[in-house]
Structure formats: C-alpha cells, structure tokens
C-alpha cells in the first residue's frame, strides 16, 4: 500500500479595509499595501502568441518595476522602457485608448506592456491616479476591440503620499484589431506604435509578427562599484582609467537561449550636475567571480546559466553575472560628482528593444583602502 502525504501551507492574509477611493485620497497610503492579486509564490507560466513559454510576472514584481520607474522619474534620471507608458490622467476617450493599447502591444510582438496612471513623464511628477471605476473604464475600452481584447492586470501601487494604478496588458493574443471609430468603408484597423505615435500597420509590420522575437531578459542590480584612477601597471602608471563592476541577477524572458552581441549594446556612466559622461567601449558580461583577464580570443567562459566570448554573452538560465567594463580617463583634474548614473543598454539578438539597466551610485571616497589610495582618485558605490 502506498500512502502519499500532501502538506498544505495556508498563509492567512488579512483582507484590506481600504477602498480604492481611500487609497487614492492618500489618507491611508502608508498602510495600503493590499494583498497580492496573484497568491501563488512562484511566477505563473503561459505561452505567448507565438507558442513560446514565457513567465508571467507576479504582482509584487510588477509593483517593484513601477516603484523603480517612479523613483527614477522624480529623481530626474532617464526612464527608459519602451514597453511602459506613463499617463498623468486616465484616458477619457475609450476609442483612442483601445487604439493605443493595441498598437503598443502589436509593436512589441507578444511582450506584455505596462501603463502607469497618475505619473507625468513631462513634468516628472507623481500626482496619483484619480478615482475611476476600473471595470467600467475597461468595458468602454474593450468595446472598441474586434474579437479579441488583451488580458489586463490592475494593481494599485502606493508611492510617497499618493498612489498610482499599474495596468499590465498581455501581448499573448496579438495581433490586436480595433474598430474604426470614424466608420466608413474601412471598418477595422491593426494599429502599430512607432516611437510615441500610433499609426496603421504596414505589410512589413505584420510580417514581423510572424517571426519569433527574443523575449527581453530582466536584470536585477545587486551591487555596483565604479572607480577612477591611475593604471596599476608600472609601465603605464601615468595613464588614467575608469573601471566598472555591475553585479546583476539575470532573469531570462523566455525558455529560449538569449544572445547579447556586444557591438549592438552600450554602457555609459554620467552625471547631470557636472555634465560628465563616460562611454565604456570595452565591456563584457561574465560569470560571477570570473577574472576579466580569463577572456581571450581563443576561449570562452562557461558557467551554469551564462557563457561569454569576446563578441557576445549567451544566457541559458537564471543566473548571477558581472558586467565588467573599462574606459580611458582623460584628466585627473576633474570635479568628482557626488552621484553618477550607470546606464547599460543590452540588445538581444532578434529583439526590437534593449534591456536597460540603470543604477545610481554615490561618491564613497571614504571607503578607499590604504592599498588603493596611491592609485584611486574616485570611487562610487550603489546603495539600494
């Protein structure tokens, strides 16, 4: 006789006592972290419109992404994610909203897109979302789609003394078709987003939907160190160099191998206050704890989850990695900025947008050791 014991772990969650209107009024924002709509501990799995396995983000992952974008927005840093759009107010024209959602999703070939209601990218302010009955608003938008509408997850995200609404639209049922609100002989349209505008799709756009695109991986910043100083080599001690160590955890966007060609990617650090900008011409994504000198033209580094050559990084599974880069310094006589921003744009093969990694570093010269003092002029570190 075979006996199987099944253990259920039930986590009791207190129901939220706050209404949607109360949250948006800001009176109870600090205590308004409502229970996750998605109660599963792991990410949910589904297939996208092209039959590829993809990971559906949990509510907490969406919230973390939104909070990062909002912090960068109000701090004046670039908010670079073409899959996301910020809106100060709820769109009041359901026909136009349906066309923009459809065009946004179609242009990204099956990837989910994110709208954040209550944040203004132009003025870099977060006033919060007005109280709107989401189900009624969404029904009005759905009426302008033909046959299929994208699934949507709505999440209230408290931020400082207000709250925004995050809307994650699924791209798994592309192409999305909308009705022509103007009427006439042309009754349906397949919209397409180009930059910040929406237009009708062309034949070449529709062909792109037939070719599988590489899902964009996510990069979680774990730590980062930027240094500026003299080269340690005695023969080149008069030369200056910038060195970057950006430690990340990589979460592949799908079940396919991701290839990131270095020549189609870029890494730079900058300071808006001092106007300083440094571009790293030489950079590599390498396995964790791997010495940079180990990479040569005749070999490649392989570790579970990632391997790298002189020309590209190949990601096969979730893993930790270090983005290592060096750049030449021009002069030691520079004003050391109190803050520096690292921006890495890594474009996977067959992807239409890069994965963007950003981190804000603060000057930390007080942490320079006695051993490094003869060489190091400036040191910046990432503080989460």
Could you tell me which residues are beta bridge partners of residue 223? 247
pTM for the full model?
0.58
CATH number of the domain at 20-210, please? 3.30.950
Pair type for strands 177-179 and 240-251: unpaired
Question: Mind listing the pLDDT tens digit for each residue in 94-130?
Answer: 999 999 999 999 998 878 899 999 999 999 999 999 9
Q: What is the pLDDT of residue 84?
A: 92
- Higher-pLDDT residue of 159, 34: 159
Q: Where would I find the H helices in the chain?
A: 20-25, 59-75, 94-107, 134-142, 203-210
Reading the block at residue 25, the tokens are: 């009024």
Residue 43 has pLDDT above 50, yes or no: no
SS3 30: helix
Q: How far apart are CA 313 and CA 306, in angstroms?
A: 7
Kindly report the length of the chain. 384
Average pLDDT on 169-193 reads 90
Average model confidence (pLDDT) for the chain?
80
Average pLDDT on 254-263 reads 85
Under the banding of pLDDT at 50, 70 and 90, the label for residue 215 is confident
Q: What is the pLDDT of residue 39?
A: 32
Q: What sign does the dihedral 204-209-213-217 (CA atoms) show?
A: positive
Distance of CA 192 to the CA centre of its chain: 21
Q: What is the pLDDT of residue 24?
A: 45
Nearest to 172, CA basis, from 213, 204, 115: 213
Q: What is the pLDDT of residue 232?
A: 73
Nearest to 217, CA basis, from 59, 348, 46: 348
Beta strands in 309-371 (DSSP E): 312-315, 319-329, 339-346, 355-363
Question: Mind listing the pLDDT tens digit for each residue in 303-355?
Answer: 678 988 899 999 988 999 999 999 988 777 788 899 989 999 999 987 877 88
Q: What is the pLDDT of residue 327?
A: 92
Return the domain boundaries, the chain: 20-210, 218-382
Nearest to 314, CA basis, from 324, 328, 304: 304
Reading the block at residue 337, the tokens are: 């900025």
Q: What is the pLDDT of residue 18?
A: 39
Please give the backbone phi and psi of residue 196, each rounded to the nearest 5 degrees, phi first. -105, 10
Residue 358 has pLDDT above 50, yes or no: yes
Residue 373 has pLDDT above 50, yes or no: yes
Other beta carbons less than 10 A from residue 302's beta carbon: 14
């Amino acid at each position: 006789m075979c006996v199987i014991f099944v253990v259920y772990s039930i986590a009791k969650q207190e129901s939220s006592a706050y209404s949607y209107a109360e949250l948006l009024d800001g009176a109870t924002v600090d205590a308004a972290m409502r229970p996750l709509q998605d109660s599963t501990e792991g990410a949910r799995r589904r297939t996208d419109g092209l039959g590829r396995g993809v990971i559906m983000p949990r509510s907490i992952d969406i919230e973390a992404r939104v909070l990062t974008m909002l912090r960068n927005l109000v701090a004046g840093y670039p908010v670079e994610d073409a899959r996301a759009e910020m809106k100060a107010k709820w769109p009041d024209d359901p026909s136009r909203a349906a066309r923009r959602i459809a065009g946004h999703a179609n242009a990204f070939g099956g990837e989910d897109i994110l709208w954040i209601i209550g944040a203004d990218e132009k003025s870099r302010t977060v006033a919060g979302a007005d109280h709107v009955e989401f189900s009624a608003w969404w029904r009005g938008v759905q009426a302008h789609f033909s046959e299929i509408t994208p699934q949507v997850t709505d999440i209230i995200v408290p931020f400082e003394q207000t709250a925004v609404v995050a809307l994650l639209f699924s791209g798994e049922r592309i192409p999305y078709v909308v009705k022509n609100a103007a009427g006439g002989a042309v009754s349906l349209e397949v919209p397409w987003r180009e930059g910040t505008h929406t237009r009708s799709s062309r034949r070449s756009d529709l062909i792109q939907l037939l070719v599988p695109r590489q899902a964009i991986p996510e990069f979680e910043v774990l730590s980062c160190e930027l240094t500026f100083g003299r080269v340690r080599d005695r023969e080149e001690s008069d030369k200056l160099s910038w060195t970057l160590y950006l430690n990340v955890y990589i979460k592949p966007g799908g079940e396919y191998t991701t290839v990131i060609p270095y020549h189609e990617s870029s890494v730079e650090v900058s300071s808006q206050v001092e106007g300083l900008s440094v571009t790293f011409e030489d950079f590599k994504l390498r396995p964790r704890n791997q010495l940079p000198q180990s990479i040569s033209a005749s070999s490649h580094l392989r570790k579970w989850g990632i391997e790298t050559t002189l020309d590209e990084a190949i990601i096969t599974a979730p893993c930790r990695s270090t983005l290592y880069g060096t750049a030449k310094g021009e002069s030691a006589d520079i004003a050391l900025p109190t803050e520096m921003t690292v921006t890495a744009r890594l474009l996977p093969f067959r992807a239409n947008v890069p994965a963007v990694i950003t981190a804000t570093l603060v000057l930390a010269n007080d942490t320079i050791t006695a051993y490094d003092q003869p060489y190091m002029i400036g040191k910046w570190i990432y503080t989460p």
